[in-house]
A and B are shown apart, each in its own frame.
Chain A
Amino acid sequence: MSRAVRAVGPGLLAFVVYIVFSGSVNTYNIVTGVVVAAVVGFLTANITVSNPGKLGEVGRLGWLIAYAIRYFFIDEVRAHVDVMRRIVHPRMPINPGIVRVPYAVSSDYAMTTIANSITNTPGTVVVDVDTERKVFYVHWIDVKGVEPEVTRGISRVFEFFASRIFD
């Protein structure tokens, strides 16, 4: 029973991916999509979900939508503009290095969201993670400082949203 409950989230994801990849909404796709979603959801339930109750909390969904808008339209744009400026600048002002960025979230999904958000914005890449000490090792195009107060600036926004979506 608990596996069936856990299968809801992965099953919904599989259904949406199936319909989008198939490219049309018709009877055939909906019928086969439901069957595929049930099978895939059941198969992946135990490796994907440990706390299915979180799926039903609407507040988390609201934070997710807010984060998607904020991330793609503000943080991404800002990072792109910054890196573009460095590329076209005649003196190419870069000061690269690898810094420690501490994080304070507890779930794997929140940690991964922060890491992927850092990597996906130009100029910063997570090269490793230490879950014992709770730090990311981040390659930064313009190292402004190695102190945790400074490096946390990279992930502050991401961590704020990730902890509210997943923790």
Chain B
Amino acid sequence: MGRWQKVVITASMVAFVALLALALSAGGLGFTLPAGRVRDVARWYLFTTFNPDLELFSAMAPEGVTSIVWDYRGLDTLFETAVFFLAIIGSVAIMRDIKTGGGSKPKGSTGLSPIVKTVTRITVGIILAVAASIALHGHLTPGGGFQGGATAAVAPLLILVIFSRYYIERLGVSKNAMLAIRSLGLVGIAVTAFIVLAVTSLQGGVAYVFQNQPKPYAPAGMPYEVGGSLTGGTLLLFNIFEMFAVSAGFTIIFLLLAIPESEVLGVLRGGEDGH
């Protein structure tokens, strides 16, 4: 690339940012951000997310985002989780004949240097503890099941890259084990979605699907505190199960991606007359 080309590209990038800043400061998106009309919705969520004076309309969990994700719009999140699950099932189906485990371990040492390995032995536990904290405090502080699960999935990813895929399979982190955990997580989410409805129906009352706190004409609900500690009712259960489902789902993808291309192509070609 010539020197003048670089100058022109740099100048146009600077001009673009400067014009964008000028347009925004001149009111290109309105002078008050966010706009007043949006504020009404936001105000309602903030007003009802945790409001002991208005329990019939409140999610009774101080974290607005998790309340919206798993209570106000819980059904939406259920379908999002289902889409993610289908994506993983799809990749497992594509790779169905390709063995993640087995194979002979390469001779000699594998993976990165012993320094990195030793540090990883310690950080894996730290990562899992932080992930659990993110998920278990999802109803109190920013975070939640998906975030915690994505963090937890870093631990098997590190072992996979820094040791080897033979090592991680030997630890019991196999595709089928992760599929089992992922399915258990999804069953847990489904049970949690119906738990208030199921228990109330057995007692002859009425309740909603995805009900968390008592609502008008549906007075049943999950306790939002246990012994003085806020638990967010169903939110805590959703976050725990989502963490397992998401971390296992990501781990399956990492295991599949760690298979060498030569092995994948060998199976997909299906021998001499496979296609």
Q: Which residues of A contact B230 (CB under 8 A)?
A: 28
Q: Which residues of A contact B115 (CB under 8 A)?
A: 111-112, 115-116, 126, 129
B118 close to A13 (CB less than 8 A): no
The distance in angstroms between the C-alpha atoms of A125 and B117, with both chains bound, is 17
User: Does A106 sit within 8 A of B, measured CB to CB?
Assistant: no
User: Does A73 sit within 8 A of B, measured CB to CB?
Assistant: no
The distance in angstroms between the C-alpha atoms of A68 and B125, with both chains bound, is 22
Q: Which residue of B114, B128, B137 contacts A14 across the interface (Cβ within 8 Å)?
A: B128
Q: Count residues on chain B whose CB falls below 8 Å from chain A CBs.
A: 25
Q: Which residues of A contact B190 (CB under 8 A)?
A: none
Closest CB of chain A to B75's CB: distance in Å?
28
Q: Which residues of B contact A37 (CB under 8 A)?
A: 129
- The stretch of A18-26, A81-89, A151-159 in contact with B is A18-26
B126 close to A28 (CB less than 8 A): no
Q: Which residues of A contact B231 (CB under 8 A)?
A: 28
Nearest CB in chain B to that of A19: its residue: B133
Nearest CB in chain A to that of B230: its residue: A28
A40 close to B114 (CB less than 8 A): no
Query: For residues 98 through 150 of chain B, which have their beta carbon under 8 Å from a beta carbon of chain A?
Result: 113-115, 117-119, 121-122, 124-126, 128-130, 132-133, 136-137
B114 close to A112 (CB less than 8 A): yes
User: Does B204 sit within 8 A of A, measured CB to CB?
Assistant: no
The distance in angstroms between the C-alpha atoms of A28 and B230, with both chains bound, is 8
28 A–B contacts from the bound complex (CB under 8 Å): A13-B125, A17-B129, A17-B130, A21-B130, A21-B133, A22-B133, A22-B137, A27-B229, A31-B229, A36-B128, A36-B133, A36-B136, A40-B132, A41-B125, A43-B125, A44-B121, A47-B121, A48-B121, A48-B122, A48-B124, A108-B117, A109-B118, A111-B118, A112-B115, A112-B119, A116-B119, A128-B113, A129-B113
- Which B residues fall within an 8 A CB radius of A? 113-115, 117-119, 121-122, 124-126, 128-130, 132-133, 136-137, 159, 171, 227-231
